[in-house]
Amino acid sequence: MAVSTFDLFKIGIGPSSSHTVGPMRAAERFVHGWLLDAGRLQDVVRIRAEMFGSLALTGRGHGTDKAVLLGLEGHRPHLINPDIIPATLERIRASERISLLGQHAIAFDEKRDLPMNKRQKLPHHGNGMRFTAYDADDGVIATRDYYSVGGGFVVNQDDAADGRIVADETPLPYSFLSGNELLAQCARSGLSIAALMFENEKSWRSEDEIRGACANCGMRCNPVWGAASLKKARCLAA
């Protein structure tokens, strides 16, 4: 299994990668992949997002409900402007309507359509979600289960059933499975940990893309530091 640095360390709105980032990604992924891409978005008259297990038990305290609402509207954790969140949630709740991907508005009763099933769990993980879209005849257009497995990673029902958590078999020039193996790779190659990880990251992105992504992360976390880094992006692995 190979994991990019930018998958492992994600930009999110907080407070929890498992309870906030993961559910937002799952909600957006369901509407985009199973409704918009399938050509069925305009047929939806109701959507139901059920939380199970830990997401139901502690979800509201960790912002899971807010994350799901934002995800259904098409927002992504690393792109959303935090300043719009309060007004967006207020609009959805006051009007009892939600705009799927910002394109298709439907009625949304949060008590009915975003239940917290505190006494139920889905089979593969404690952080389970089930999204179901209905048409005008109350027929099911699509339904999918997702699991927020930690670190903002989301697994669908098929991958969860097969035991696949992060299905990426990209070959890396310096692979390792433990801290000791990482140090051994550094000793053999003469590279620092940062330089070795930079070389591994080039399996997915060009050097310029890596530098730009690092600068973007810095800019979002600290605008002053990020702006300076973006102007003179140096090789962060030097």
Q: What are the residue boundaries of the structural domains of the chain, listed by start?
A: 17-161, 169-231
pLDDT greater at residue 222 or residue 37: 37
Is the peptide bond between 15 and the residue preceding it cis, with omega within 30 degrees of 0? Answer: yes
CATH code of the region 17-161: 3.30.1330.90
Q: Which residues contact 218 (CB under 8 A, 6 or more apart)?
A: 225, 226, 229, 230
Q: Residue 237: pLDDT above 70? A: no
Count CA atoms within 13 Å of residue 229 on its CB side: 20
Report the range of poorest mean pLDDT among 18-27, 94-103, 228-237.
Answer: 228-237
| Whole-number Å distance between alpha carbons of 52 and 127 | 6
**Enclosing H/E stretch for 30:** helix 22-30
Read off the pTM.
0.78
Per-residue model confidence (pLDDT) at position 11: 77
Q: What is the pLDDT of residues 43-88, one digit of tens each?
A: 999 999 999 999 999 988 899 999 999 999 999 998 898 899 999 9
pLDDT greater at residue 70 or residue 155: 70
| Whole-number Å distance between alpha carbons of 146 and 52 | 10
Q: What is the pLDDT of residues 92-107, one digit of tens each?
A: 999 999 999 999 999 9
